[in-house]
């Protein structure tokens, strides 16, 4: 298992130290997803072995550099957040009917929905068992984060209430479904490195905002990048009618008085049957060149800037600079 995201760290000594600790996280993660039962072991290793960005454990380790990053509890915390993330992916792919994840067939495509859901549950259980060793405060934070993950998925599935702003609803979904765990990743790093409560709140606020920026950037990447590079099928969300920011902005424009006929025609295309590869390719190509994609990218950049502003109370230095670079790197993916 090898993380695919380069460390956003300019200082060679800090980069080497974080890289070494990420390797330790990988080893522990491999142990955490191991099961005696052969089928379960294969299914549990499926996504972990496919790699991934490992941005959550990376953020945990980086935030821990604000205190004593060498504490063993920091590594445990980094494993917990990645286990939680992996578990959520098994569930998400079932709900979204995603055929690919990290360049490999999704678990439900290989073993079926029931196995994928239960393996996700098993990984959540492993994360819970590990966090229990870190004390009641950690358990409460993990439970609250898990609750927000579920609420985010639930609200995404249900959609906005009548009269509710779809864009505001979507941003709240991103906050719960994606940003909550990224915020906890940063909080855990600082927490188990012995940082003060104000530092914990600062890095958690940074994580919350960078998590939203990260998902907005992903909305752009889903339309503009080569699936062979991202490991995902472009336009899967379009096919499954899962809302994304570009589509929501397009619908907002098309519903406005005096909307351009081309915008209304594109909405009609997106609302049509995209079950065939040809229809999906046409829809992705049409949306890809629309300026709502650029507007989504601008929102991602704006949210990343808000995340960086959260770091103002931290002392200047290598770690703060690395956190700023971390924010820039997440958004630059969509450039």
Q: pLDDT tens, 138-159? A: 999 999 999 999 999 999 989 9
Give me the pLDDT at residue 204, please: 98
Neighbours of 73 (CB within 10 A): 18
Predicted pLDDT at 275: 87
State the pLDDT confidence band at 2, using cuts at 50, 70 and 90. Answer: very low
Q: For residue 95, give every residue at least 6 positions away whose Cβ sits within 8 Å of its Cβ, in sequence order, or none.
A: 153, 157
pLDDT of residue 25: 95
6: nearest Cα among 326, 240, 223, 255? 326
- Among positive and negative, which fits the CA dihedral 232, 234, 240, 241? positive
Q: For residue range 199-231, what is the model confidence (pLDDT) as tens digits?
A: 999 999 999 999 999 999 999 998 987 765 555
pLDDT of residue 255: 95
Q: Would the CA dihedral through 29, 33, 36, 39 be positive or negative? A: negative
Higher per-residue pLDDT: 265 or 35: 265
Q: Is the pLDDT of residue 42 over 90?
A: no
CB contact at 8 A, 166 and 251 = yes
Confidence of residue 1 (pLDDT cuts 50, 70, 90): very low
Per-residue pLDDT tens digits for 250-289:
999 999 999 999 999 999 999 999 989 899 999 999 999 9
Contact 10, 60 (CB under 8 A): no
Q: What residues contact 143, with CB distance under 8 A and at least 6 apart?
A: none
The closest alpha carbon to 35, from 122, 113, 97, belongs to 122
Residue 75 to residue 243: CA distance in whole angstroms: 35
Q: What's the chain's average pLDDT?
A: 88
Both structure tokens of 291: 């300026």
Given a contact cutoff of 8 angstroms between Cβ atoms, the answer to whether 199 and 75 are in contact is no
């Amino acid at each position: 298992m090898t993380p695919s995201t380069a460390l956003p760290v300019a200082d060679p000594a800090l980069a080497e130290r974080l890289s070494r600790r990420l390797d330790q996280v990988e080893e522990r993660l491999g142990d955490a997803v191991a099961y005696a039962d052969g089928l379960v072991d294969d299914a549990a290793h499926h996504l972990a072995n496919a790699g991934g960005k490992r941005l959550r454990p990376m953020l945990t380790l980086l935030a821990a550099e604000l205190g004593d990053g060498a504490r063993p509890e920091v590594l445990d915390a980094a494993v917990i957040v990645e286990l939680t993330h992996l578990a959520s992916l098994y569930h998400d792919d079932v709900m979204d009917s995603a055929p690919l994840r990290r360049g490999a067939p999704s678990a439900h495509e290989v073993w079926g929905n029931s196995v994928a859901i239960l393996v996700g549950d098993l990984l959540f259980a492993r994360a819970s068992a590990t966090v229990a060793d870190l004390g009641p405060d950690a358990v409460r934070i993990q439970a609250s984060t898990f609750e927000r993950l579920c609420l985010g998925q639930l609200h995404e599935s249900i959609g906005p209430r009548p009269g509710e702003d779809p864009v505001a609803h979507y941003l709240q979904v991103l906050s719960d479904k994606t940003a909550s765990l990224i915020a906890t990743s940063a909080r855990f790093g600082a927490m188990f490195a012995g940082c003060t409560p104000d530092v914990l709140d600062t890095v958690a606020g940074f994580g919350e905002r960078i998590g939203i920026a990260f998902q907005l950037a992903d909305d752009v990447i889903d339309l503009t990048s080569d699936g062979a590079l991202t490991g995902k099928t472009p336009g899967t969300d379009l096919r499954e009618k899962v809302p994304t920011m570009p589509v929501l902005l397009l619908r907002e424009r098309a519903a406005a008085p005096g909307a351009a006929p081309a915008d209304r025609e594109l909405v009609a295309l997106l609302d049509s049957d995209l079950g065939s590869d040809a229809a999906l390719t046409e829809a992705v190509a049409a949306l890809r060149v629309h300026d709502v994609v650029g507007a989504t990218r601008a929102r991602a950049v704006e949210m990343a800037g808000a995340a960086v502003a959260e770091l103002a109370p931290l002392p200047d230095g290598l770690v703060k600079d690395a956190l700023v670079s971390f924010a820039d790197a997440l958004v630059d993916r969509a450039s």
